[in-house]
Structure 1
């Protein structure tokens, strides 16, 4: 039996919430340039898988928040409140040219922070997707 180490693990998918599947689909496909890999469900109950072109092993599943039947009404209300404030989810993306990426996004997304050299050694910016998810974009060095 082969011993599995952490170096054998990769990140395959992460899940981010959507409020309006069409808005989220347009944002991730048209604004960020991700490809659509799967779109299942209907109405607001859709799970949409997107990912960066040329990286088939990494994807984001845009999902209806609180669709799990185990989520209580109180929890659903809390999730909705956190999404509205932009504190429910965050993802960090990377690009070789932060300034060009920001120039392309600034008129198409809610800007949270312009490109900035952070004290922890990263240059990044931040925007929000239509559901309020914070998207930090780092410059690859």
Structure 2
């Protein structure tokens, strides 16, 4: 058996339209898929040009969660106690930081030199943590 790619990740969001505004409007990601499946909206975004890796912006609910569990997840997410985690790279951490500050994105950590490069932290409107990094050349 050989695994050869990680193609999708999922994070919970409380409002998919608000998530689109944040991930596409503020971060500059692009919509990959936006389909009403009847039982759920399958909404994915990706880094521009990278169709091989999608982030599912998933509302807590069916089919993955029963109603009681979905309510618990929404409550935890609202408290900031259950956010997911994403890591995105950039060619210029300082410029990206300045652009996101100007767009009103919540910054959790300012750009800092690390052994692997420069990175900083932001949070989406639902409590999901995102690290944005400019990685050093190997």
TM normalised by structure 2 equals 0.82
Which of 46, 49, 54 does residue 49 from structure 2 map onto?
Answer: 54
Give the superposed CA RMSD: 2.2
Per-residue CA distance 1:65-102 (angstroms, 9 max, x = gap): 243354462x3344234323154311111111100111
Match of 2:113 in 1: 117
Counterpart CA distance in 1 for 2:15 and 2:70 is: 16
**1:1-141 → structure 2 map (5 Å cutoff):** 4-6=1-3, 9-41=4-36, 45-68=40-63, 70-71=65-66, 73=68, 75-84=69-78, 85-106=80-101, 107-118=103-114, 121-141=116-136
Number of aligned residue pairs: 132
CA distance change for structure 1 residues 31 and 41 in 2, over 3 Å: closer, same or farther?
Answer: same
The answer (yes or no) to whether the contact 2:8–2:53 under 8 Å persists in 1 is yes
Unaligned runs of 5+ in 1: none
Counterpart CA distance in 2 for 1:15 and 1:121 is: 26
TM normalised by structure 1 equals 0.80
